[in-house]
């Protein structure tokens, strides 16, 4: 039951957002929602660390079952509530393969974004170079070209893996939304932009839109503007 | 049917190896096995690129269904052949959660190893520093401490996620084996070493042991000896 569930999450984090989308799609509203502040370091609080030794969000509990990897939570919910709400993993083996292929392949985008975010955090300033950062931006750009092609190939009216909205969209849409929020140009990736603008009105997406983005809807960060 | 399947793989690649283990566990011997050479660049051949635009291994085809993400292939096989051979994903939701948690969390190890491998490939020599490499080695070491703790907590006779051998072992054992092959000290990670030495005799693991490791069984590379 949804009331046995607790989700610890941070606003604007794609891994947290995907879990929220799945909870909406599976009609599991009524779960305990704990919004924590990354800025205040609340993801490293004793309450979170007791459930998740990495001190990361999302952290999730269903009764006495703890699972913290975002994709793991999504699959756990789909498996436990297969017949409730939207079916997010297709039965047909070929469609099943298409959904998993896209879900897992999207780790490449997350990794490229992570490389950029971590460059300024992990590499001391004395070792950082403009060329080094530029290389990471180009790697993300190369990655996004794959996805621009995939969306184009799927064609208008389709979703990211198959015709219908599936787990692949719940997992990948928040990443695409974050890319555009952080300055990636919609003009440079017109097919991804079309996908973004078509899926963003879906009720499960609207219901879970990052609250601090809503406060400042037109803000576009420029961190990724050269990607 | 196994005879409709083609696996393109490279010797010693943990993502390829996990797929081979699953094919063994699911009793799908008889698939077409295409061993390619990374050194000769065969993973970038036209035959592979036609199925996998990234030119990576594993690349997998089952009839007309193509799926190339290693974990995706493993889950596809388990889903399609749930009642054949070993059941690799548990039915019980708590065990299901434990298996997926470990599978997905193990991406952290792969990423840390990848960071080290890529440092010398992606970063030009003029920008590389001893300290930079050391930082990446320490990050892998920090990551392995989590796993050393997990294995210790599971206790003797258990596997990596639950008591039985599951998909988590098929996915993670090849990573652990590669770590020790590349010089990580078994003395420094005694619980991981115990896990490694207990699981390595499993028939599905033995049947798929990387052929070029067999040719030179005692070779231990020293790339990761300081991790």
pLDDT exceeds cutoff 90 at B124: no
Average predicted confidence (pLDDT) for chain B:
95
Same domain, B149 and B203: yes
The reported pLDDT for the residue numbered A176 is 98
Confirm if A54 and A68 have CB atoms less than 8 A apart. yes
- Among candidate residues A174, A183, A167, the one with its CA nearest the CA of residue A205: A174
Q: What is the CATH number of the domain that holds A197?
A: 1.20.1050.10
Question: Do residue A93 and residue B80 have CB atoms under 8 angstroms apart?
Answer: yes
**What domain range includes position A7?**
2-80
Tell how far CA A206 is from the center of its chain: 14
Region B128-149 average pLDDT: 94
A-chain residue closest to B142, CA distance:
A54
Q: Which of A61, A100, A109, A137 to mutate to test the interface with B (most CBs of B within 10 A)?
A: A100
Same domain, B57 and B136: no
Is residue B223 one of the residues assigned to a domain? Answer: no
Is residue B87 one of the residues assigned to a domain? Answer: no
CA separation for the pair A218, A164 (Å, rounded): 29
Is residue A54 one of the residues assigned to a domain? Answer: yes
Residues 6 or more apart whose CB falls under 8 angstroms from that of A18 comprise: A70, A71, A74, A170, A171, A173, A174
Strands, E, within A39-180: which ranges? 59-62, 65-67
Same domain, A26 and A129: no
Same domain, A26 and A102: no
Region B35-46 average pLDDT: 96
Region B202-214 average pLDDT: 96
Edge-to-edge strands of the sheet including A32-36? A32-36, A5-10, A59-62, A65-67
The reported pLDDT for the residue numbered B127 is 83
Which of A27, A48, A80 is a domain's end point? A80
Is residue A70 one of the residues assigned to a domain? Answer: yes
pTM: 0.95
Question: Do residue A72 and residue B97 have CB atoms under 8 angstroms apart?
Answer: yes
B208 touches chain A (CB under 8 A): no
A198 touches chain B (CB under 8 A): no
Instruction: Work out whether the CA dihedral B96, A87, A92, A169 comes out positive or negative.
Output: negative
B/e letters for B153-164, b = 16+ CB within 10 Å, e = fewer, are ebeeeebbbbee
pLDDT exceeds cutoff 70 at B47: yes
Cα of A217 to nearest chain B Cα, Å: 33
- Residue B178 burial class via C-beta count within 10 angstroms: exposed 0-12, middle 13-18, buried 19 and up: buried
Cα of A202 to nearest chain B Cα, Å: 27
Question: Do residue B103 and residue A72 have CB atoms under 8 angstroms apart?
Answer: yes
pLDDT digits (tens, 9 = 90+) for A52-81: 999 999 999 999 999 999 999 999 999 999
pLDDT digits (tens, 9 = 90+) for B50-108: 999 999 999 999 999 999 999 999 999 999 999 999 999 999 999 999 999 999 999 99
A-chain residue closest to B107, CA distance:
A107
CA separation for the pair A20, A204 (Å, rounded): 8
Residue ranges in chain A modelled with pLDDT below 50:
none
Residue pointed to by tokens 């004793």? A46
Which of B80, B101, B119 is a domain's end point? B80
Question: Do residue A127 and residue B123 have CB atoms under 8 angstroms apart?
Answer: no
């Amino acid at each position: 039951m949804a009331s046995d569930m607790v989700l610890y999450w941070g606003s604007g984090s794609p891994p947290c957002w995907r879990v929220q989308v799945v909870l909406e799609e599976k009609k599991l509203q009524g779960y305990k929602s704990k919004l924590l502040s990354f800025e205040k370091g609340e993801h490293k609080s004793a309450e979170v660390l007791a459930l998740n030794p990495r001190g990361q969000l999302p952290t999730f509990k269903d009764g006495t079952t703890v699972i913290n990897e975002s994709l793991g939570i999504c699959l756990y919910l789909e498996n436990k509530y297969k017949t409730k709400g939207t079916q997010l993993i297709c039965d047909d083996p070929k469609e099943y393969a298409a959904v998993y292929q896209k879900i897992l392949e999207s780790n490449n985008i997350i990794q490229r974004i992570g490389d950029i975010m971590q460059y300024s955090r992990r590499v001391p300033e004395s070792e950082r170079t403009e060329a080094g950062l530029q290389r990471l931006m180009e790697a993300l750009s190369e990655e996004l070209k794959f996805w621009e092609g995939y969306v184009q190939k799927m064609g208008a009216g389709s979703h990211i893996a198959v015709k219908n909205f599936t787990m692949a969209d719940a997992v990948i849409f928040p990443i695409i939304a974050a890319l555009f929020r952080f300055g990636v140009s919609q003009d440079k990736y017109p097919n991804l932009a079309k996908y973004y603008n078509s899926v963003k009105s879906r009720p499960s997406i609207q219901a879970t839109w990052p609250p601090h983005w809503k406060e400042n809807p037109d803000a576009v960060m420029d961190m990724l503007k050269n990607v």
